[in-house]
Amino acid sequence: MTNQSIYPDLYHVHHSLYAEDIPFWLSLANECAGAVLELGCGSGRVLTRLAEAGHKVYGIELDAGMLSVLQRLLPPDLRNSVRLIQADFTRFRLERRFGLIFLPCNTYSTLGALQRLSLLACVRRCLQPGGQFAFSVPNPQLLKHLPARSEAEVEEVFSHPVDGEPVQVSSEWRRTRRQFVLTWRYDHLLPDGRVERLSVAVSHELVEIQAYLAELRNAGFGSFVQYGDFDFSTFTPDSPHLILLARATD
């Protein structure tokens, strides 16, 4: 089995292959004045791109391994544009306020109801009047109509960050009435024919859209916009994503 400590590096290489959402978050950042706050910034896939575009970016991440990768790979000329905070993004308090706080990478749907309420309270405290909170999740309406289980499917192959040997990434999922569990398998293919496997499971809550909206309203948000993809297309039941933007009420 692969050492679990290598996971942040594998995560970074794997997820850096996906950039289709970057222009969306950058567009939101361009619309607000001052610094922006990313929750769950991970190894910096989004945060670094915003800093490269000239934004002052705060990032909150609980996982020390992810922050270590981010700090190691962050270009020196961007260090003054980035402030990293190791904390639970469902229970944080910062002294300053932001015009934009966002949670990308489908992370919001991995939270339980009490975690979401706690996160929203933290976000509301840290938003400027009229500031915007944005998050993306897999479209729950679409997921609810999928079969109960999938077959494993190879998705990507990339070079291992330590020895350069191939890493084959496959995924499979299972669905219940309330959860969608996605399992990633990282198979490190060694020259002698051995395979070192690391499996990572992520569970998404299948929450009705109206429940998300009710939680946001109760936390002091309004003026909602729903998109179905990162091209700003209108949300429909068949959209791949649900992207919600909500403004803090004055």
Q: Are 244 and 226 in contact (CB under 8 A)?
A: yes
Considering only CA atoms, which of 198, 201, 206 is closest in space to residue 177? 206
Instruction: Please count the residues of the chain.
Output: 250
Residue 217, pLDDT score: 96
Residues ≥6 apart with Cβ < 8 Å to 45:
12, 15, 16, 18, 19, 105
pLDDT digits (tens, 9 = 90+) for 16-45: 999 999 999 999 999 998 899 999 999 999
Residue 3, pLDDT score: 60
Q: What is the pTM of this model?
A: 0.95
Does residue 229 surpass a pLDDT of 80?
yes
Does residue 60 surpass a pLDDT of 90?
yes
Residue 98's H or E segment, with its range, is: strand 98-103
| H, E, C per residue of 35-89 | CEEEECCCCCCCHHHHHHCCCCEEEEECCHHHHHHHHHHCCHHHHHHEEEEECCC
Residue 127, pLDDT score: 96
Q: Nearest 10 degrees: CA dihedral of 16, 31, 233, 106? A: 40
Please tell me whether residue 22 adopts helix, strand or coil conformation: helix
Fill in the amino acid letter for 4: Q
Residue 227: CB atoms within 10 A of its CB come to: 19
d(CA 39, CA 25): 13
pLDDT digits (tens, 9 = 90+) for 107-158: 999 999 999 999 999 999 999 999 999 999 999 999 999 999 999 999 999 9
In which band, very low, low, confident or very high, does the pLDDT at 222 lie, cut at 50, 70 and 90?
confident
Q: Give the percent of the chain with pLDDT over 70.
A: 98
pLDDT digits (tens, 9 = 90+) for 154-203: 999 999 999 999 999 999 999 999 999 999 999 999 999 999 999 999 99
Residue 202, pLDDT score: 97
Residue 1, pLDDT score: 44
For the domain covering 4-141+206-248, report its CATH number: 3.40.50.150
Residue 215, pLDDT score: 97
